[in-house]
Amino acid sequence: MFHIHVERFVGKDIESVFEALSDHAAYDQFPGVDRSVLVEHGSQEKNGEGALRIIGAGPLELHERITEFERPNKMHYRIEKSRPFPLDHRRGEITLHRSGEGTRVIWISTGHIKLPLAGHVLDKLAQKQFSKAFDSLLKAIDRR
């Protein structure tokens, strides 16, 4: 099982940080993301609860459904489908808190890569790579 926990201070106001994290169709502007598409709009707002986005990075493709959306403090998601390997995604949470002149972001994702024998090895690799990717995405928001 992989468990990713990235916590970072971003020197931007909470509304700007939340907007950058919730604008699904614009994720391709972040390092390592080749494509991002909003496939289904949310029930109350475009990127809100119920929205489905597809994010691609090289051969990796993730279909993520927004399961909770409370502007500007919380966005939870679940990976419903993935390629080239199947995931059992248990938890995806992004929480934001006002912190002085900026925003404290906590990003948590847990799950398991469902491949016999190799899954546990790939979980460790995924944990390392996704932790770097989440941190890099938050750094990019901070540099804007």
Show the domains of the chain with their CATH numbers. 2-143 (3.30.530.20)
Tokens of 47: 């990127």
> Which stretches of the chain are assigned E, i.e. beta strand?
2-10, 35-40, 52-57, 60-70, 74-83, 87-99, 102-113
Backbone torsions φ then ψ of 35, nearest 5 degrees? -150, 150
Please give the pLDDT value at position 93: 98
Q: What is the pTM of this model?
A: 0.93
Q: Specify the amino acid at residue 143.
A: R
Tell me the pLDDT tens digit for each residue of 13-68.
Answer: 999 999 999 998 888 889 889 999 999 999 999 999 999 999 999 999 999 999 99
Q: What is the pLDDT of residues 91-108, one digit of tens each?
A: 999 999 999 999 999 999
Q: What letter does residue 122 receive in the DSSP assignment?
A: H
Amino acid present at 130: F
pLDDT exceeds 90 at position 116: no
Closest CA to 143 of 16, 26, 4: 16
